[in-house]
Amino acid sequence: MPLAGCFGNDDRPVQIVAIGDPQSLFSADARMPHAARLLRGATVEGLVGFDDEGNVAPALADRWIVTDDGLSYIFRLRDGKWGDKSDISAESAQTALQQAIAAQRGQPLGANLAVIDEVRAMAGRVIEIRLQQPMPDFLQLLAQPELGLVHARRGAGPMTSKRASDSELRLSGVLLAPIAPEDRGLPPEEGWQEHTRKLRFSASGAEAALKLFAQGDIDLVLGGTFADFPRIASSGVSRGAIRMDPVQGLFGLAVVHADGLLSLAENREAIAMAIDREALAALISLGGWVATNRVVNPGLDGDNGSIAERWLGRTIEERRALATSRIARWRAAGRPVTPLRVAMPGGPGNDLLFERIAEDLKAIGLDSRRVSAAADADLRLVDVVARYPAAAWFLDQLACSAANTVCNPTADQLVVKALGEPDAVKRADLYASAEAQLTITNSYIPFGVPVRWSLISASINGFAPNRWAIHPLMPMAILPR
């Protein structure tokens, strides 16, 4: 089957596959899988959204202003219709936004949204969001697909969707079609039909997705991670098709239970010291990967520089010698040491990762065994991309209210205090203190930044690597003029 070229709506839709469980596309969970986030972003607009480069772009709001104190965001809604053909008004948008925010309570994104003090409907089509403190990345947060606005159980585009399948490729998903600008309350565009195309969007396991891409049956694969990166080498896919996203986020092990050997912070640190992070990138021949042993990725805006990489000046051998002595001391006291259960998803990358972790732990006298991602465990792999580039995002992911893992209430209290601190320097100090508390606790064992990749054919436009690994579908439906 030939790849899609420059064609209109009457020709074959562009075939796009997101790596994941095929049913994840339709997940209604508050913590959405990757494929479901892409579909929601295409069919349920928020006040703002993302363009193909990951920049904040107008959506239901066509313009906005931010007050000088950074505490008020005032949005002017476009003159458009909801999916049920009723007018988009300030009151209906206010209600929809409040519902979207409420749905995230108890989730990491909900902790981020705690900065919102009030959502107000103003005159006409104007809505105001007031914050408790300035947040430079607030628009980035507001553009997340989870904050798309639903009215009468429907979104307002920018695309329509209907269930569709490709029996030849054995892919089930949705057929997405761009909504004409005049039907979204925007000025008409001449030649709209000739310069847009439909997309068929599905979710599939990585092995099948790579095979179909190599055969030319699909045009774009999204959502690749460390787990499946080694599959590319044996798939027949050209290296020139790979696009890496320069992301930030959490990639490491969370401590699930603080009992037995893991009841002591110094023993948890022993595990952290044993990990040879520099060797991890070599596992999958990944150049340029950023290793770190900090909870918060280094170099973020607002980082006051008070938190450095750990164990500076100590070789991996010196670190392991200290770690070994701690494990030996625990054993000498007659306390049992059972194999550590490490939970992680499948995939050849994670197979190699576990083998590396097992060797590192063996070097300090610990045995380990791998369990499935959903099983009870002692250590669990965390692999998630940051939504915005600030310490608050990292700390909220590991908060006691959001993570089913060992946590630090003092760190949480410092984050709450930072939320109400108007002075930027003092706020940065509080975030650094919170990171220091988590570092002392050793409840999270960082490896480095996450890995995200896509495969792109020559027929695709409207795609650009970016630091959020966000690739909205609507730009891919617009053909160059």
For residue range 158-194, what is the model confidence (pLDDT) as tens digits?
Answer: 999 999 877 677 788 999 999 999 888 888 898 898 9
Q: How far is CA 345 from CA 293, 378, 480, in A?
A: 22, 15, 39
Strand-by-strand arrangement of the 444-448 sheet? 368-371, 340-343, 379-385, 249-255, 444-448
What lies within 8 Å, CB to CB, of 295 at 6+ separation is 394, 395, 398, 435, 438, 439, 444, 446
Average pLDDT over residues 137-165: 92
Residues facing residue 202 across a β-bridge: 17, 173
Please tell me the distance from the alpha carbon of residue 200 to that of residue 217, in angstroms, as a whole number: 12
Pairing relationship of beta strands 126-131 and 340-343 according to DSSP bridges: unpaired
Res 61: pLDDT? 96
* Residue 6 pLDDT exceeds 60: no
Average pLDDT over residues 234-257: 95
DSSP per-residue string spanning 83-98? TTS-B--HHHHHHHHH
Nearest C-alpha neighbor of 452 from the set 242, 148, 144, 218: 242
Q: What are phi and psi of 74, to 5 degrees?
A: -115, 120
Contact 147, 155 (CB under 8 A): no
| pLDDT tens digits, one per residue of 10-50 | 478 999 999 999 988 888 888 899 999 999 999 999 999 99
- Residue 414's Cα: distance from chain center in Å? 24
Q: How far is CA 132 from CA 112, 138, 140, in A?
A: 12, 12, 17
Q: How far is CA 298 from CA 104, 201, 335, 463, in A?
A: 27, 36, 37, 27
* Residue 5 pLDDT exceeds 80: no
The single-letter DSSP state of residue 388 is S
Tokens in use for 189?
């565009």
